[in-house]
Amino acid sequence: MSSERRIRVVVAKPGLDSHDRGAKIVARAFRDAGMEVIYTGLRQTPEQIVETALQEDVNVIALSILSGAHLTLFPRIMDLLKQKGLDDVLVFAGGIIPKEDIPHLKKIGITEVFGPGTRTDTLVKFVLENVRKRK
Amino acid sequence: MTHIEQLIDGVLKGDRRSIAKTITLIEDDMPESEKAISLLYPHTGKAFIVGMTGPPGSGKSTLIQKLVEELRRRGKTVGVVAVDPSSPFTGGAFLGDRVRMQELSIDEGVFIRSMATRGSLGALAKATKDAVKVLDASGKDVVVVETVGAGQSEVEIIKLAHTVVVVLAPGLGDDIQAIKAGIMEIGDIFVVNKADRENVNKAMIDIETMLNMNPEREKWRPPVVKTTAITGEGIAELLDKIDQHREYLEAGAIDTRRRQRVETELVEAIKEKVAESIVDELKQTGDLDKLVQRILAKETDPYSAADMLLDKRLKRFKRR
């Protein structure tokens, strides 16, 4: 038998912005690193993102946001993850997020926040080092 | 209760997390997955399974979104398994079918799972079949399986469905494409999607002509339905046709199909287990490596080597 644990990632765009070039490039980088990437498309509510993560049984959630609503949307996502028992999922974010907001986001459970210009291999390395392996 | 019994207990109660975890076990081909299937098996066979296939870009995912909405309006719960290809080079995959099904994400009566094709065709067909069993046992009334249809592999996967819907669109090919073997032969229902486009009637005629020439193997003559998934036009009609096909099957053909399906599944399981046990033993004794070396040195060839091995090992079966 060829049992093999694959890393599954959901790449999600919460809220109301319509630019997903960055998210698609990140998704592509994870695909090329051998991961299975579930892409949600634009304008997702926190409920949709968490439900997708649950149904797809992912180990990682990558959030991309440019609208400035991260302080509203991210805490809601983290709350829902906790409620549904998905607290073992690695969550990180990227996009346009002011430096001064980062400590708060880390406090609510977002493991890392990446800004513009981050290399995709940095992201892949980050996921491989931080993902919690399935038993 | 063991961990796996707990998990399956959750599936049978319709718990979404348990359903998701069980499908992952099956996909990853973990040792516990066989135990999971044996616990689930008595509870399967209730769901009606619809297979959706067709070339890339014909609108399958959008059509499924609308079809599921219509099923929900008619009071049915639905599971969806959407298969997309893995990269043959990295093993990674980009699974994008959910993009077209966003509105279904938070409906409690719907469960969607994306699957990558991963390894071999046989393994995929098995994993898909077993994922469908999980959704079936969880109490979903209808399970929809979506695969990109381009050739033989999809024919293999889609065999698990009661009703196979082949989704086409105008402009994807002329009547020559319609005569080709493969997916054009497996449809119980044909859909010409994107009916708001030019040449839709030409596409309908090509398919009808092809169907008229088919030898009559069954009493069911596949209907051709025109849809525009984006506006929802033709969706109710498509679902009516699916219901009609179901009634047709239940009037007789379904028992034959079910028997065939179980037989194929059993034969596949035997093949897999026999091959597995022989190969495992060869690996442990180091004989596999020795034989590979001999083949590399051209002292023998793969077929003769396999014959030799099987002769030795299967003697005890042959003696009977």
pLDDT at A56 over 90: yes
CB contact under 8 A, A39 and B98: yes
B110 — pLDDT class (breaks 50, 70, 90): very high
Domain residue limits, chain A = 8-127
Partners of residue B105 in chain A, C-beta under 8 Å:
47-48, 51-52, 55
Burial class (CB in 10 A: 0-12, 13-18, 19+), B212: exposed
Average pLDDT over chain B, rounded to an integer = 86
The DSSP-derived string for B44-79 is -S-SEEEEEEESTTS-HHHHHHHHHHHHHHTT--EE
Query: Chain centroid to CA B22: how far?
Result: 17
Domain A8-127 has CATH 3.40.50.280: yes
Helices (H), A33-134: 46-56, 70-83, 102-107, 120-130
Phi, psi angle pair for B247, to nearest 5°:
-60, -40
Within 10 angstroms of residue B122's Cβ, the number of other Cβ atoms is 13
Of B25-29, B127-131, B261-265, B293-297, the range with the lowest mean pLDDT is B261-265
pLDDT at position B177: 61
Most confident of A47-61, B49-63, B99-113, B180-194: A47-61
How far is Cα B137 from Cα A121, in angstroms, rounded to an integer? 41
Of A124-133, B256-265, B296-305, the range with the lowest mean pLDDT is B256-265
pLDDT at position A1: 40
Of A34-43, A72-81, B103-112, B145-154, the range with the lowest mean pLDDT is B145-154
Tokens found for residue B284: 């442990």
Contact between residue B225 and residue B234 where contact means Cβ atoms under 8 Å apart = yes
Positive or negative, the CA dihedral B123, B124, B129, B135 is positive
Q: What is the mean pLDDT of residues B25-32?
A: 89
Q: What is the pLDDT of residues B196-247, one digit of tens each?
A: 888 888 888 888 888 888 776 678 889 999 999 889 899 999 999 999 999 9
Q: What is the pLDDT of residues A4-44, one digit of tens each?
A: 788 999 999 998 888 888 889 999 999 999 999 999 888 88
Partners of residue B86 in chain A, C-beta under 8 Å:
36
Partners of residue B87 in chain A, C-beta under 8 Å:
31-32
Q: What is the mean pLDDT of residues B95-100?
A: 83
Distance from the Cα of A99 to chain B's closest Cα (Å) equals: 31
The DSSP-derived string for B113-129 is EEEE--S-HHHHHHHHH
Contact between residue A56 and residue B105 where contact means Cβ atoms under 8 Å apart = no
Q: What is the pLDDT of residues B275-284, one digit of tens each?
A: 888 888 888 8
pLDDT at position B118: 80
| B290 or B138, greater pLDDT | B138
Q: What is the mean pLDDT of residues A59-79?
A: 93
B87 residue type, one letter: S
How far is Cα A121 from Cα B253, in angstroms, rounded to an integer? 54
List the 53-112 stretch of B: residues with Cβ below 8 A of A. Answer: 86-87, 90-96, 98-100, 102, 105-106, 111-112
ipTM score: 0.90
CB contact under 8 A, A4 and B28: yes
List of residues 6+ apart from B238 with CB closer than 8 A: B63, B67, B165, B189, B191, B225, B227
CB contact under 8 A, A33 and B92: yes
Partners of residue B30 in chain A, C-beta under 8 Å:
3
Q: What is the mean pLDDT of residues B165-186?
A: 71
Q: What is the mean pLDDT of residues A47-53?
A: 94
